[in-house]
Structure 1
């Protein structure tokens, strides 16, 4: 009882400090008298953050990827019979999405510039609406317009979530959380195939592809309401944390990186430009480009590729596209967990690139059905590298605004990959699509090589900082953005 009363008294005192000094100064004062948490106490706070944040971002990204990639399932569900999307027209539906997606990558900074719950709820509602009204399209031009605006909304959402998560988690534990977020894409592609298989069995007045767009678009609109009420804007605004837990969270997030206390909204444009100019922002962007050349086309073309592997109808091909993505889901979770535990990013990125390359090489050379289907399980694992690159970019940049600049480079460069990836499987190459497989394998290997190069560069930088006397761990008092001297902008890298 005495401990409870003491805790309550401490929380009341902190609340009074916040009211008198404002959140920024109060946080600095609290840090000066801060009792360092035990590992168990930190783990407890992280579990509370996980329970609130991870289900939200996982489901949201699953819905985003489902609404983006269900075009391949809709094609097999009769879309091509009702609307002329033959030949290059179908490829253009994928291409126009990524052109718009690239042009609007800068909108991801809205996660930092505005209150996240308002920003996120708004863009979720927008993309859910656009995804749903695809069911009303009557022409190729109408579908092209929908795909263009769908990409604007999704560009404002997905690429900014890794930045948002970095506001809440320690730099050496954010990789697993990025993995959970990204694994939503693998899960969406898995149950998307099963869902499409079920929808194609529906017999009614509406065409199956229209029902597909409605069933997969309307839940997104509803989820925007949940986001509005349950997504926290930052640590100090997290109502599910008490005052002590907020201080613990500020402490571990600020370890070896700088945080904005009391200025959660608003970009520091000088730091954004520093992140954009940093060469270490561009190498992950090139790797992301390679991942997307290899992976982005798969959700659109895997059902079609599978349909040529054996004597399966279109509905069965949709269903058989699910298992490879289910394996990818578990692989992402596992590899991101190990990456955090070992504090390494590059080796796991390289491993994912090599596994993906082997899968594409088998698809480029083999002709037997069983072997080629097994190879798809390997090829999709390149997607795990994306989750690791999101964490790696966060680890490279010390400040929130600089991370925003780094993520803008990563996403803009990376999202150019699908422009190539969605055009390497032309109908003229069927049934084996060998050219697309060779190109995808080459880019997977490029990812592995660049990962090794960046790791060696960061190891070299760490050795230089060690010689200069840079401490291996910097705590909240030193890394707070309230110190404008700039002395503590450097930090040891996770390679």
Structure 2
């Protein structure tokens, strides 16, 4: 595969590898990797990347969504969160989260292992000191800074994963990453149930914040030492494996060479000019109206059914998220297998809409609790939208722009979602259920519209006989100057 001399400068070495690879392709001397060889490299990447981002995201979601568990663990006895104060604790988090979405570009601008470790320490510290809050104002300040810190982390990870995987396989990897949220909500409820039994000088809700916040600081160390910045700096890959990886990553999308860190703002702006970029954002908005409220209110909704205590409700909020975890993994894998996104986004949203409608139209405990198992399916649409957004933008910086649009529009959803279940609506919360159902149906319709739009554009490229480069990179002085048209995944 070539005699590549190792040098002290990894970026220069990486650029040399690509130059050799492209030259060999032009000369016909390049031996393309076999499917088994690609699978071997992908498995190596999976073992290094997926467990770490999965654990990190599960901790992030646990630290953001444990407010509902803390409320039932006695927080309302020590801090006045009556009236709309509790809802505002959820709202202030998402205000900060929305205003800070632009920070996801940090995953492209700075070495990812440094940027990630910093953000993890930031949110772990804020999450832990919530245990020291003695007033509603103090807790509001903590939730604001927690929103800033988590906006720097979660929205950027899907962009980061696209640096390492081919576009047709990134859906499952995004699914594994995002399923960390489902697991966090599952064991968060079970953990809260156990912590609620603790009797001591420190209130259980304070112990909850400490137990769920402090481990994050430890995991930040692993992020610093084990998260690779790029394929070129992945020390667990040899030279041939790096070339195999960059070969499949550059398939039907452009790979930045010589400037792995650094944003190309012209390409970011191209994402903003593409009207298709708005539709994933609107779908993400609908998903978040429906889903963002669930971790905060599912324990309360279950407790208001009249058959369970508040402590039991914390425990019973876990099983729906276990099912959600399984559904996310299965549907994302199927989406990669069939190489389509829209139909799976729509299917998950329709199932979720059925769940909300059942909850809105029944009074008895059994169907209402069973409907929660369906409602959480909307989270699968979130995972698929992350992959779909990546598949709609061929370059790394443009994907950064696409994710910024997705997250900024989409994260406005929780501002509505965290306020559609007011205490005045208990015990059935009809208004919130109907609003959530309507949002799920909107997601399904928009997924159909975007799928048809992309199919039309792909057929137009077919009619024009547009040929895509098998290996698309920007190297040397011409970086950012070439325009390559790509068929998109629908």
Q: TM-score range by the shorter chain?
A: over 0.9
> How many Å separate the matches in 1 of 2:66 and 2:334?
31
In 2, are the aligned partners of 1:353 and 1:382 still within 8 Å (CA)? yes
Question: CA 1:31/1:369 → structure 2, altered by over 3 Å: closer, same or farther?
Answer: same
Among residues 22, 28, 32, which one is paired with 2:23 in the alignment? 32
Question: CA 1:40/1:18 → structure 2, altered by over 3 Å: closer, same or farther?
Answer: farther
Are 2:297 and 1:309 aligned? no
In 2, are the aligned partners of 1:295 and 1:383 still within 8 Å (CA)? yes
Superposed CA RMSD in Å reads: 1.5
Partner of 2:339: 343
Partner of 1:490: 485
Question: CA 1:410/1:21 → structure 2, altered by over 3 Å: closer, same or farther?
Answer: closer
Among residues 131, 134, 137, which one is paired with 2:130 in the alignment? 134
Deviation at 1:155, TM superposition (A): 0.2
Are 2:207 and 1:195 aligned? no
In 1, are the aligned partners of 2:6 and 2:13 still within 8 Å (CA)? no
Aligned residue for 1:201, secondary structure, equals coil
1:25-424 alignment runs, 5 A limit: 25-33=16-24, 34-424=30-420
CA-to-partner distance for each residue in 1:406-441, whole Å, 9 max, x for gaps? 000000000000000000000000000000000000
Among residues 427, 433, 446, which one is paired with 1:431 in the alignment? 427
Aligned residues: 484
In 2, are the aligned partners of 1:17 and 1:26 still within 8 Å (CA)? no
CA-to-partner distance for each residue in 1:93-147, whole Å, 9 max, x for gaps? 0000000000000001000000000000000000000000000000000000000
In 2, are the aligned partners of 1:67 and 1:216 still within 8 Å (CA)? yes
Deviation at 1:21, TM superposition (A): 5.7
> How many Å separate the matches in 2 of 1:321 and 1:67?
16
Deviation at 1:276, TM superposition (A): 1.8
Question: CA 1:200/1:20 → structure 2, altered by over 3 Å: closer, same or farther?
Answer: closer
TM-score, length-normalised on structure 1? Answer: 0.95
Deviation at 1:480, TM superposition (A): 3.8
Unaligned runs of 5+ in 2: 25-29
Question: CA 1:407/1:481 → structure 2, altered by over 3 Å: closer, same or farther?
Answer: farther
In 2, are the aligned partners of 1:18 and 1:26 still within 8 Å (CA)? no
> How many Å separate the matches in 2 of 1:190 and 1:65?
11
In 2, are the aligned partners of 1:479 and 1:489 still within 8 Å (CA)? no
In 1, are the aligned partners of 2:104 and 2:156 still within 8 Å (CA)? yes
Question: CA 1:485/1:76 → structure 2, altered by over 3 Å: closer, same or farther?
Answer: closer
Aligned residue for 2:166, secondary structure, equals coil
> How many Å separate the matches in 2 of 1:439 and 1:27?
51
> How many Å separate the matches in 2 of 1:231 and 1:117?
5
Aligned residue for 1:157, secondary structure, equals helix
Deviation at 1:16, TM superposition (A): 5.7
Deviation at 1:311, TM superposition (A): 2.2
CA-to-partner distance for each residue in 1:16-37, whole Å, 9 max, x for gaps? 6978965324422233223210
Aligned residue for 2:31, secondary structure, equals coil
> How many Å separate the matches in 2 of 1:210 and 1:365?
37
1:456-495 alignment runs, 5 A limit: 456-471=452-467, 474-476=469-471, 478-480=472-474, 482=476, 484=479, 486-495=481-490
Question: CA 1:241/1:309 → structure 2, altered by over 3 Å: closer, same or farther?
Answer: same
> How many Å separate the matches in 2 of 1:20 and 1:384?
37
Question: CA 1:20/1:393 → structure 2, altered by over 3 Å: closer, same or farther?
Answer: closer
CA-to-partner distance for each residue in 1:228-274, whole Å, 9 max, x for gaps? 00000000000000000000000000000001112110000100111
> How many Å separate the matches in 1 of 2:465 and 2:192?
58
1:435-450 alignment runs, 5 A limit: 435-450=431-446
Deviation at 1:13, TM superposition (A): 2.8
CA-to-partner distance for each residue in 1:332-360, whole Å, 9 max, x for gaps? 00000000000000000000110010000
> How many Å separate the matches in 2 of 1:26 and 1:299?
47
In 1, are the aligned partners of 2:346 and 2:447 still within 8 Å (CA)? yes
> How many Å separate the matches in 2 of 1:285 and 1:484?
29
